[in-house]
Structure 1
Amino acid sequence: MSKEKFSESDEEAFLDDPDELDPEAEEYSDEAIEADELQALKAENGELKDRLLRALADVENVRKRGDRDRRDAELYASTRFARDLLSVHDNFDRALDNITDELRDTAPGLIEGIELTQRDLLNVFEKHKIVRVEPSPGEKFDPKQHQAMFEAPVPGTKAGDIIQVMNVGFMIGERLLRPAQVGVSAGGPATPAPEQDISGE
């Protein structure tokens, strides 16, 4: 039986012919490559989705911060000017507090003009979210809104109770523009201890 010998050209032709390759091996190789590519694409898609969600969240946070800063700028831009106007309000209060019944009878038009001007000033304050902080005697002292000008023992009161309002305060929005100036009770006077009889009788 004679053995057939292949020439180099026959061997190259055999190796280059795709029909001569194992079709099952080629199909398995293609499926493995496709599975790897699919896995890589899924991982890349998940990463891109995560980055997109983070970017959208950052944009939303920037938008909310911008809106809040804009509202704060509108509300608090006039803080210094409003604080300067408080002395005008105080002067109106002092003027009205010193009006006597005789003066009201003598110059009712003048008194009415002062009251209307002060009322107009308070309306402007309200328009710009500026409100009075006006505690009443007996309320509890609040260091966030009140400023203690003095402390004194007062019978029938508890320590920390407001006993006198010397000047009203003001808030602008949620910020304190000026604390209300108040007097605070140090509590009732201490009860003196009974005298002890040391005579021995």
Structure 2
Amino acid sequence: MNEETTDATEEHPLEEQLRLAREEIVALTAARDFERDQALRAIAEAQNTRARLEREKSDAIAYAAAAFARDMLVVADNLERALAALPAPGDEALKSVVAGLEAVQREMLQVFERHGITRVETVGLPLDPMSHQAMVEVESDSEPGTVVAELQAGYRMKDRLLRPALVSVARKREEAA
């Protein structure tokens, strides 16, 4: 067998060289393809990283004040409660205090609006677990699952929820037996 291989190589040295050259070309082509694939993957990864960093940067700029806005929601809630708790103004001094507090509230809501902070819509809408937090179910003539009362306002900052609205949700009235 060894003699036959030697004889075939000696008889056709050019064919053997061609075979070896083809094998080398195939190996080099595979290596080139592998390196090209690795380079393309590295370029794609760099582009993805750049895009992700740009997105994170723009999000950080857009939502930098979110923590401050959440803290200010407590102030807005307390101002709303104070206005609701005041008796109907009888004398002029109380009327001016109420008017002043209402002006402060309007200004605060305008500042919220300028910064993309909006109140979550609630009453009369179906419960949306992405915006509402159901606190109580109450018997109602409304469609079951409909928000019937707002216990605490919810707010969004642009497209992100700062705080869900705390709501009461309708349930079907129970039939008397």
| Residue equivalent to 2:152 | 167
1:188 aligns with 2:173: yes
Report SS of the residue matched to 2:137: strand
Unaligned runs of 5+ in 1: 1-23, 194-201
Cα distance in 1 for residues equivalent to 2:49 and 2:92: 58
Report SS of the residue matched to 2:162: strand
Deviation at 1:167, TM superposition (A): 2.2
Contact 1:170 1:176 in 2 (8 A): yes
1:47 aligns with 2:34: yes
Contact 1:75 1:128 in 2 (8 A): no
Deviation at 1:116, TM superposition (A): 4.1
Cα deviations across residues 149-182 of structure 1 (Å, max 9, x unaligned)? 332212x223322222222111234432222122
1:93 aligns with 2:86: no
Contact 2:89 2:98 in 1 (8 A): no
Contact 1:75 1:129 in 2 (8 A): no
Cα distance in 1 for residues equivalent to 2:174 and 2:22: 89
The amino acid that maps onto 1:150 is V
Partner of residue 61 from structure 1, selected from 25, 48, 70: 48
Deviation at 1:75, TM superposition (A): 3.3
Contact 2:89 2:95 in 1 (8 A): no
Cα distance in 2 for residues equivalent to 1:93 and 1:104: 21
Cα distance in 2 for residues equivalent to 1:126 and 1:64: 29
Cα distance in 2 for residues equivalent to 1:49 and 1:29: 30
Cα distance in 1 for residues equivalent to 2:20 and 2:13: 11
Report SS of the residue matched to 2:129: coil
Contact 1:158 1:185 in 2 (8 A): yes
| Residue equivalent to 1:158 | 143
- Equivalent pairs: percent with the same residue? 37
TM-score (norm 2): 0.73
Cα deviations across residues 133-160 of structure 1 (Å, max 9, x unaligned)? 1312x32222322223332212x22332
The amino acid that maps onto 1:142 is D
The amino acid that maps onto 2:64 is A
Partner of residue 70 from structure 1, selected from 57, 72, 76: 57
Report SS of the residue matched to 2:125: coil
Report SS of the residue matched to 1:163: strand
TM-score (norm 1): 0.65
| Residue equivalent to 2:24 | 37
Distance 1:103 1:81, change over 3 A: farther
The amino acid that maps onto 2:74 is S
Contact 1:157 1:188 in 2 (8 A): no
The amino acid that maps onto 1:55 is A
Distance 1:68 1:95, change over 3 A: same
The amino acid that maps onto 1:66 is L
CA RMSD of aligned residues (A): 3.1
